[in-house]
Amino acid sequence: MPAWLLQRLEAAGGTVPFRTYMEWVLHDPDQGAYGAGRLRIGPAGDFATAPSLGPEFAALLAPQIADWLAQLAGVPLALVETGPGEGHLALQLAQALAAGWPDLAACTELVLVEPNAGMAERQQATLQGCPMPCRWASFAELAAAPARGVVLAHEVLDALAVERIEWDGALWRQQVVALHGDPAAGPSLRLEPGAPLEPGAAAQLEALGLLPPTPQRPPGWCTELHPGLAPWLAGAAAALEAGPLLVIDYALEAWRYYAPQRSAGTLMAYRSQEASSDPLQEPGRWDLTAHLCLESLLEAGRASGWQLLGQARQGEALLALGLAERLHGLQRGSTADLGALLARREALLRLVDPHALGDFRWVALARGMAEEAPRFSREPQPSATG
């Protein structure tokens, strides 16, 4: 139990809602895993993400971004990446756009939205030498002069603090993190059912299929709600005059998310390539992440004026964007550097592995632009080479 957390919990009377705890341990500027910039993203870090595997992901995504920027046809344009982690995707996309669409890249500014100063520092180091002009800003700063452009949210909404709720057999309760134990042995942390949910939450639970409670959900059954989504999506909407928002993340339909057999929700902790279902260990040292619920995302999006353009699983999206052709192209590549060819092949296959990254969801929302299905959710086009 770190002293800072003990102090805060004592000051709060011994318990805080799980959502407050998650906010602290991830985003506190001095103690949070992201806030203090402790987490390292990549195969040699705490966990890998698609862009951290190499430039293939950005190379496949770039034509989609270019399509959207061309449709928006205004000057200046913005490519806004939220939650950029190490800055891999921002740099790789800037390189791909500058090489393949130099006219578009020349009139597009790269904007990084990163609330955690510890992570922003590392992004600045990665983006030195970026071929497009880039700057860091908050949604609120962008809202002062909203541009036309594209907003990307790759594995960021799963880092928003979630509310954990628990069924006690009669009522839904908010889960709390509580100090526990005999003071001589040193206090420990425990998850406990707290106050009953506000009556207003019932409508949300009903929409998600959690009311009326069924006998398959015994006392102690718990899951997550996503109160951080609506304000985040409203902030993104205000930051953009017109354009799409592409969310790429772990996500499940409500019937799968809230299925009776998923009795402990989706919350997971990651550190040093290890996964754990215990969110209370070494607070501020582990990444905590919860899946998105697709219906909650779409509903919160609609409420702030986003319309759905299209959605797909990552495997399907990347195939529609030419992944098979890219794999095929590798077979014709020079075998002089066989190691590099095999590494690229491995990275491409990991991106579509249905048991891992291939099951990610791509959801494109838009405001103020034509509702045309994105390239990634159309049928794959036959390649020029057949």
Binding site for ligand SAM (CB under 6 A): 34, 41, 49, 51-52, 82-85, 88-89, 113-116, 119, 154-156, 159-160, 232
Question: What's the CA gap between 295 and 289, in Å, rounded?
Answer: 18
Q: Rounded CA gap, 195 and 174, in Å?
A: 6
Least separation in angstroms between residue 336's CB and ligand SAM is 30
Strands 188-196 and 172-180, how do they pair? Answer: antiparallel
Closest distance of CB 139 from ligand SAM, Å: 8
Q: How near is the Cβ of 292 to ligand SAM at its closest, in Å? A: 13
89 or 309: CB nearest ligand SAM: 89
Please state the φ and ψ torsions of residue 145, each to the nearest 5 degrees: -150, 75
For residue 340, the SS3 value is helix
The least distance separating ligand SAM from the CB of residue 120, rounded to whole angstroms, comes to 8
Q: Which helix H or strand E contains 206, and what residues bound it?
A: helix 201-207
Pairing of strands 268-271, 287-289: antiparallel
Q: Which is nearer to ligand SAM, 114 or 163 (CB)?
A: 114
Task: Note the residue count of the chain.
Answer: 386
Single-letter residue type at 99: A
Q: Judged by CB, which is closer to ligand SAM: 75, or 140? A: 140
Q: Which is nearer to ligand SAM, 187 or 315 (CB)?
A: 315
Shortest distance, CB of residue 217 to ligand SAM, whole angstroms? 30
Q: How many angstroms from the chain centroid is the CA of residue 221?
A: 25
Locate 6 and state its tokens. Answer: 């003990």
Toward ligand SAM, which CB reaches closer, 88 or 350? 88
| Sign of torsion over alpha carbons 47, 54, 117, 144 | negative
Residue 330 beta carbon to ligand SAM: minimum distance, rounded to whole angstroms: 23
Report, in Å, the least distance between residue 157 CB and ligand SAM. 8
248 phi and psi angles, rounded to 5 deg? -125, 120
Q: Classify residue 264 by its DSSP letter.
A: B
Nearer to ligand SAM, 21 or 172 (CB): 21
* Nearest distance, CB of residue 234 and ligand SAM, angstroms: 12
Report phi then psi at 289, rounded to 5. Answer: -145, 145
The first and second tokens of residue 304, run together, are 């702030």
> How is residue 232 written in tokens?
């985040």
Question: If we measure between CA atoms, which residue out of 370, 374, 366 comes closest to residue 150?
Answer: 366
d(CA 366, CA 243): 6
Closer to ligand SAM by CB, 154 or 217: give it. 154
Q: Measured from the CB atom, is 28 or 67 closer to ligand SAM?
A: 28
Radius of gyration of the chain (CA): 22
* Min CB(247)–ligand SAM separation in Å: 11
CB-nearer residue toward ligand SAM: 114 or 224:
114
